[in-house]
Structure 1
């Protein structure tokens, strides 16, 4: 049975989060007893969301579940990333890929920590080449080609892509990634990130640690880390990470 070892910062972040709801694995297995896809819709550029996702992956791996992880990076970089995860190249070589030069939340220090924690796990990128006419459809087709048919596909992607439907009044050029794959596969859940406020590293328009208001509903039970149901038809449920802090790029000029 494989075990993941969370390095320094990630350990501190995971341990700092209350664990009253003991198991991400248990919460998701209740909804998907045999196999399926769970999409974690994130706010890019935080420390806490990649840490939460990493801990959830670890639970699945340590319980012997077949798992494949999908991260929001170019599908063409999957093999290069796989070389690092298999121990065939070092971290400097991993970071030599052009994708790490994009200084947004998808290439943050927290995301690098996530890569370190996922050594030995199958990880795939599923973003089509730049200039795709429909990025959500391209992401969907890339995912469907690479997913596990039997086992668990755990996906970390931006919250708009993660949606299973458009929200009230939303107008998109294409259906979201989550909706696209749900229409073409079984057993798909999508969870959106809740947080109580803080900062995230974002480029809007200048790249920096930007303050964000919280999106936890008034009176929410923060100890409940994963929940389902509610009135938001865009998602199956949510995962809560508490206060967020900004994670700057892994590479900085």
Structure 2
């Protein structure tokens, strides 16, 4: 089967299962499914979600947060940052100028998705980009998407986010980036302070969130590009955001939790990933 037909099928699953048609409502009017704990992100100008590459859940939770973020903006300007090659900004700059499906046809067929490296090349991430393009288009220009993978991303990617916020007059940003970059403190092997710390050093208030789950698996490149078990830290309840009481002294201020991380295969395989539905109304299942 050709890529266009697979693209249609995957997009239909992503949007259809959420029960929320792309054209139905504006961000301010559209009913976003609740995300427990999301209100705590009001405390910061920039909320950084640590992406667990190669999972269904990290992009799905971020999509949920992005819907709520757009709703909260209420017409004010905001930025959504993604760990994608800077070249994607040529596509994102066409949002609001070209139809959604024209922008997506270009972004969704970029050679980036043919690569097989870390989980940024996953089907779940691919579908997230489609959903965010549509969300940005519905915002009437108030919500801008920015690809942040200018290297070195911790330094130059952070500067790109800050500059993008200034140039667009955005007061707030929501970012999905690898959880090592989402840290507030450097870990062994990092050549500089992490992305989130550089954003904070630029004078913006930041909340950084790590990924946490009751178990499962993911696809990343440490030490090798392969499927890896996800460290289990089970908790009661379902999907939620939690700020730690001593978060200012931790690598991340808190975490977003899902009961299980499940694998999202690379787009290159054109295979649907294993999946479970997140236990919140309207959550996308891939």
Question: Shared fold (TM-score greater than 0.5)?
Answer: yes
Asked if 1:111 is matched to 2:125, the reply is yes
How far does residue 152 in structure 1 lie from its aligned partner after superposition? 2.1
* Pair 1:24–1:55, CA change in 2 (3 A): farther
Report the counterpart of residue 158 of structure 1 in structure 2. Answer: 178
Corresponding residue for 1:240? 257
- Contact kept, 8 Å, 1:197 with 1:213, in 2: the verdict is yes
**Residue equivalent to 1:127:** 149
1:200 aligns with 2:218: yes
1:71 aligns with 2:82: yes
**2:273 equivalent in structure 1:** none
Pick one of 13, 26, 37 that aligns with 1:8. 13
Match of 2:106 among 65, 89, 93: 93
Residue 144 of structure 1 corresponds to which residue in structure 2?
Answer: 162
**How far apart are the structure 1 equivalents of 2:81 and 2:246?**
27
CA 161–205 in structure 1, closer or farther in 2 if over 3 Å, else same: closer
Relative to structure 1, the CA distance from residue 91 to residue 250 in structure 2 (aligned partners, 3 Å threshold; closer, same or farther) is farther
1:165 match: secondary structure: coil
Q: Does 1:226 align with 2:245?
A: no
Separation in structure 1 between the aligned mates of residue 146 and residue 260 of structure 2, nearest angstrom: 29
Q: Residues 116 and 229 (structure 1 numbering): CA distance in 2 closer, same or farther, change over 3 Å?
A: same
Structure-1 residue corresponding to 2:115: 102
Aligned to 1:40: 49
Question: In the TM superposition, what whole-angstrom CA distance separates every residue of 1:231-253 from its partner, at most 9, and x where no partner exists?
Answer: 56111111112201010112338
Looking at structure 2, the residues matched to 184 and 61 of structure 1 have their Cα atoms a distance apart, in angstroms, of 24
State the shift of 1:144 in Å: 1.4
- Could you tell me how far apart the structure 2 residues matched to 1:81 and 1:209 are? 30
The residue aligned with 1:188 is 206
Greater Cα shift, 146-155 or 181-190 = 146-155
Unpaired runs of at least 5, structure 1? 1-5, 15-19
- 1:22 shift after superposition: 4.9
Q: Is the 8 A contact 1:84 1:94 kept in 2?
A: no
- Aligned-partner SS, 1:193: strand
Number of equivalenced pairs: 232
Kindly report structure 1 stretches of 4+ aligned residues shifted beyond 6 Å.
none
Which residue of the partner structure matches residue 60 of structure 2?
A: 51
